[in-house]
Amino acid sequence: MEELKQKIINEGQVIGTEILKVDCFLNHQLDVAFLDRVAKEFYERYKSQRIDKILTVEVSGIAIAVLTAMYFGVPVLFAKKLQSKTLNEEMYEAQVHSFTKKIDYNIRVAKKFLNEEDHVLIIDDFLAKGQAALGLAEICDQAGATVEGIGIVIEKDFQEGGSILRDSGYRVDSLARIVEMNEEEIIFGEE
């Protein structure tokens, strides 16, 4: 998605060769008019599939998931990262390792909201080592739901998440794939 690549170049900030900060439009401040065009792009790519539910994980995936769900006319389900006092039903659960924060955490979805009849589009803001997406896909497997695809805003193609997911047979649509980056330039690959 050309507009996304330009936005990353113009507004993103690369730290070292692995960290890309896009908190001006995707992770802290949300440029909703722009994110709505990102959501429309996901809709264009998946509109011929049956999509019953958009699945994401808190926090940064929620905005994109909500805007995408508006196009499909379906609900969003966001996996929670921490057990909260008021969430105590039977849950689907998967373990996720955060390489950024160097911790393992569990993501959970209430069983009542996902079942074997659901065709799911997984949405997330970033794909790096693929841990969050794999956790969400595992939750769909536990529910017997069908994963129609995984829509990612920015893929760090120099990390292994995309390969792992594609090799596992998942359709992955990343709207910008970064092959290499440093503080001088960002090189994009084929979408």
Binding footprint of a second copy on the chain (CB under 8 A): 15, 19, 21, 23-25, 27-33, 35-36, 58-59, 62-63, 65-67, 69-70, 73-78, 80, 84-87, 100-101, 109-110, 113
Other beta carbons within 10 Å of 21: 13
Other beta carbons within 10 Å of 156: 24
Other beta carbons within 10 Å of 124: 24
Residue 137 CA: distances (Å) to CA of 28, 60, 84, 146, 163: 26, 18, 22, 9, 15
Minimum distance of a second copy from residue 1's CB (angstroms):
19
Minimum distance of a second copy from residue 166's CB (angstroms):
26
Q: What are phi and psi of 138, to 5 degrees?
A: -65, -40
Cβ proximity to a second copy, 63 vs 143, nearer residue: 63
DSSP symbol at 128: S
Minimum distance of a second copy from residue 85's CB (angstroms):
6
Cβ proximity to a second copy, 126 vs 172, nearer residue: 126
Minimum distance of a second copy from residue 190's CB (angstroms):
26
Cβ proximity to a second copy, 69 vs 172, nearer residue: 69
Q: What are phi and psi of 149, to 5 degrees?
A: 175, 175
Cβ proximity to a second copy, 70 vs 164, nearer residue: 70
Q: What's the length of the chain?
A: 191
Cβ proximity to a second copy, 75 vs 144, nearer residue: 75
Q: Are strands 186-188 and 172-181 parallel, antiparallel or unpaired?
A: antiparallel
Minimum distance of a second copy from residue 179's CB (angstroms):
20
